[in-house]
Amino acid sequence: MDETLTLSALALGVLALLPAAKRRLELSRAKHRSLAGHSRMAKRLARWVPGYAYDEAQFFAADGAPADVAAQRRAALQRLGAEFDTRYARTLAATEAARDTISDLRFTGRYRVPFQFSPVLREHLKVGAFLQASDGVQVEDLDGNRLYDLTGSYGVNLLGYDAYKACIAEAVATAQQLGPVLGAYHPCVLDVLTRLKAISGQDEVSFHMSGTEAVMQAVRLARYHTKKKRLVRFAGAYHGWWEDVQPGPGNPLPPRDTFTLQDMAERSLKVLATRRDIACVLVNPLQALHPNANAPGDSGLIDGSRRAGYEREAYTAWLKKLREVCTARGIVLIFDEVFVGFRLAPGGAQEYFGVRADLVTYGKTLGGGLPVGVVCGSRALMQRYREDRPADICFARGTFNAHPYVIAAMAAFLRQLDTPQVKTLYDGLDARWNARCARFNERLQAAGAPVRMANLSTIWTVLYTQPGRYHWMLQFYLRKHGLALSWVGTGRLIFSLNYGDAEFEAVLERFVAACAEMRADGWWWTAPELTAKAIRRSVFREMLSKKF
């Protein structure tokens, strides 16, 4: 009898555990199979990767190139370094003077290329970090070199730098009588509120000092109102640098209440439809260009296998399914439009994809050239207290929120969106930039360059048609030929909307010339057996030998 009762109790215990085990299995299957979808594993691997670097001999023949090709590359690097030292002398001197004090410069300098190549490269080829002027679609360094800007100022530069100079000048004129008075609002905020409500389709607005801060507040509001703690993000997506939305390498804390699921996958929808502990889902529309992959950067070009591609219909269908599931389950759907906001359409990603979010975050360009973060949402979700529980609040504040100069610059930017000149830039936006991308690829193919472009409107990334260990060198040839890039190199090229046909052709000519010179210098030499898989195996063996 006792044995029967014991067995029955065990059976009931197992049955009780089955639903939890099933949910856990479904969650595991919904994660992307790459490291982008497994933050714990990625962090373990990051700790496992040993630090090592190629010496001078290994640097030029890491792909098994013969001695004559290695010598050709060595001569090319010395020549390029000497040209940079002369041509960018003042800019490099200022950068060197700042490097010991600005930790960001040391970080970006070290991670501009794959770490094995970094020490030798930094010794022979230095890159400046100072500019002194901008106009049109060009920037100017301290030596008077003018470069076509492909940085987009990390997404800020939507309309062209002259437009933001005008916004800031107008803001100074508007707010200078009040000055930096904090806590109260400048009356121009009323115009800002009206325009933001119309653009977002939401009821209320809160101001913050950065996109990261805006996303933090949106997630906090979702958790407050749903009384749930789990956050869902999608593999590879970036939502700022705070812990809950960056659970992998780069975050010193372990993942806590964050699920990183596979983008554009039915399994992820099933997880959302069956769990009861999910407060919100974060969507970064930029991921449509490289679903389930981390933000591209030249520091990750170990084998040339970077991939990207954008299908508007497929991504739109995915967002609509996601919207349906979130609505059915009471999950707050948050569109993080900090980066792409207003780049796809005047009404942002909501307008472009035809999907309404519950909360929307903006930043970057919205500040008219000044730092800003904004959350827009329904009245119910934006409320930060409960009438029936006066001590139950969702606190959020910032000393510089709604700074008069920032709000005035924002007002100027939002008015610019309504001008005929800016509306013209949006007319036929996709068709124009897709045609430009197609033309770019035709020219690259005709030139025999192992390079192609993929684009999401004015946001582009460089792909490679053959495996190789030295694709990251292209960024330095592009700089030589007068193209300004951000520190991630060719991983992301951002055009401002004011690029005319003549300026675009100038960029195209310089890009093709840079590719031709890089090929001539031997960096794209390849052997038949040099496949991406073979390169990855070779690098893995290197790491094993260094580790053990």
What's the CATH number where 412 sits? Answer: 3.40.640.10
100 pLDDT exceeds 70?
A: yes
Q: What is the domain count for the chain? A: 2
**Which spans in 357-491 are helix H?**
379-382, 404-417, 420-426, 429-446, 474-480
15 pLDDT exceeds 70?
A: no
- Mark whether 369 and 512 lie in a shared domain: no
- Mark whether 241 and 119 lie in a shared domain: no
9 pLDDT exceeds 60?
A: no
CB 156 within 8 A of CB 458: no
346/295 Cα distance (integer angstroms): 24
- Confidence tier at 4 by pLDDT (50, 70, 90): low
Burial (CB count <10 Å: 0-12, 13-18, 19+), residue 2: exposed
Percent of residues, the chain, with pLDDT higher than 90: 79
Per the domain annotation, does 441 fall within a domain?
Answer: yes
- Domain end residue (candidates: 401, 426, 451): 426
Q: Name residues whose C-beta falls within 8 Å of residue 18's C-beta, 6 or more positions apart in sequence.
A: none
133/220 Cα distance (integer angstroms): 40
Model pLDDT for residues 315-327, shown as the tens digit of each residue: 999 999 999 999 9
Model pLDDT for residues 341-395, shown as the tens digit of each residue: 899 999 999 999 999 999 999 999 999 999 999 999 999 999 998 988 888 888 8
Look at residue 534 in the predicted model and tell me its pLDDT: 87
Per the domain annotation, does 462 fall within a domain?
Answer: yes
Per the domain annotation, does 69 fall within a domain?
Answer: no
CATH number (domain holding residue 148): 3.90.1150.10
Torsion of CA 448, 451, 452, 454, to 10 degrees: -170
Look at residue 93 in the predicted model and tell me its pLDDT: 97
pTM of the model: 0.93
Look at residue 28 in the predicted model and tell me its pLDDT: 72
> What's the angle, vertex CA 203, arms to CA 199 and CA 209, rounded to 5?
70
Of 157-171, 247-261, 334-348, the range with the lowest mean pLDDT is 247-261
Per the domain annotation, does 134 fall within a domain?
Answer: yes
**DSSP 8-state secondary structure symbol assigned to residue 366:** G
- Confidence tier at 152 by pLDDT (50, 70, 90): very high
- Confidence tier at 7 by pLDDT (50, 70, 90): low
94/128 Cα distance (integer angstroms): 8
Partnered with residue 158 across adjacent β-strands are none
Burial (CB count <10 Å: 0-12, 13-18, 19+), residue 433: buried
User: Looking at per-residue confidence, does 31 or 445 come out higher?
Assistant: 445
205 pLDDT exceeds 70?
A: yes
- Mark whether 124 and 204 lie in a shared domain: no
- Mark whether 153 and 192 lie in a shared domain: no
Look at residue 50 in the predicted model and tell me its pLDDT: 86
Look at residue 529 in the predicted model and tell me its pLDDT: 84
101/98 Cα distance (integer angstroms): 6
- Mark whether 441 and 485 lie in a shared domain: yes
Look at residue 176 in the predicted model and tell me its pLDDT: 96
Of 342-356, 393-407, 455-469, the range with the lowest mean pLDDT is 393-407
- Mark whether 501 and 389 lie in a shared domain: no
Look at residue 5 in the predicted model and tell me its pLDDT: 58
- Mark whether 212 and 330 lie in a shared domain: yes
Mean pLDDT of the chain: 92
448/442 Cα distance (integer angstroms): 10
- Mark whether 473 and 344 lie in a shared domain: no
What mean pLDDT do residues 136-162 have? 97
Per the domain annotation, does 18 fall within a domain?
Answer: no
214/484 Cα distance (integer angstroms): 29
- Mark whether 279 and 362 lie in a shared domain: yes
- Domain hosting residue 101, numbered range: 75-158+433-541
What mean pLDDT do residues 80-104 have? 96
464/441 Cα distance (integer angstroms): 11
